[in-house]
Amino acid sequence: MRFDPPLIRATLLRRYKRFLADVRLEDGREVTAHCPNPGSMLSLIDGGAQTVWLTPVDNPARKLKWTLELIEAGGAMVCVNTQRPNAIAEAALAAGTIPELAGYPVRRREVRYGEHSRIDLLLQAEGRPDCYVEVKGVTLSRQAGLVEFPDSVTRRGAKHLKELTAMAARGHRAVMLFLSPRGDGQVFRPAADVDSAYAAGLAAAMDAGVEAVCRTCHVSALGIYPGDAIPVLID
């Protein structure tokens, strides 16, 4: 996925009210950008003068003219826009770069299923069970090489695990795809100290037949592309 329009470099001043970030552009202007990330952004904001990358917004109807896309944290460039992982996953599936999910010519997004839910991706192929794929972006990293999810309590995420478990029980394929838009992950583990219910729910879902896949990404100011698969560890 290539960034279009190109990103603009800036310095993060502060992030507040979850969806707002004050930044300083390279020409010295201080502006407020939309932060499309409802999580805590734990491990990403260190209180210093961090480099961030913004998308300029050419929409007269929108109040905030910038969107926060990337932040440089702990030596890694990390995508913090939670709207990106689904698009990255869909593009990767179309290009055949996620082997675990290859062989499905039909790909549908946001299909209703379960109890008032929508699956991120429904993959279909003649002669194969339908494949329900839930995508989660993974940005938390508190130890070198280890990436974790979630970075805050996620009741919605726990609900998705139950919905996937129900699909597996009905004979469908159910996959939890953790996509880490940072290139330094070597191992994935659920952040049990952040959300013990989610960690337990993931373990139970996997015991019930839900597959868990984690892939890192190559991230730069030019674009984001899926990288290697890494082990998923469950305590």
* Tens-digit pLDDT string for the chain (235 aa): 899 999 999 999 999 999 999 999 999 999 999 999 999 999 999 887 899 999 999 988 899 999 999 999 988 999 999 999 999 999 999 999 999 999 999 999 999 998 888 999 999 999 999 999 999 999 999 999 999 999 999 999 999 999 999 999 999 999 999 999 998 999 999 999 999 999 999 999 999 999 999 999 999 999 999 899 999 999 7
Residues contacting 60, CB < 8 A, separation 6+? none
pLDDT of residue 161: 97
Q: Give the CATH fold of the 8-79 domain.
A: OB fold (Dihydrolipoamide Acetyltransferase, E2P) (2.40.50)
Residues contacting 37, CB < 8 A, separation 6+? 18, 19, 68, 80, 81, 82
> What are the start-end ranges of the E strands in the chain?
8-16, 20-25, 30-34, 50-56, 66-73, 76-79, 106-113, 117-124, 131-137, 140-143, 146-149, 173-180, 187-190, 211-219, 224-230
Number of DSSP helices (H) and strands (E) in the chain, helices first: 3, 15
CA distances from 51 to 21, 42, 153, 226 (A): 13, 16, 27, 23
As a CATH number, domain 84-230 is 3.40.1350.60
CATH 3.40.1350.60 residue window(s) in the chain: 84-230
pLDDT of residue 51: 97
CATH 2.40.50.580 residue window(s) in the chain: 8-79
**How would you class 106 by CB atoms within 10 Å of its CB: exposed for 0-12, middle for 13-18, buried for 19 or more?**
exposed
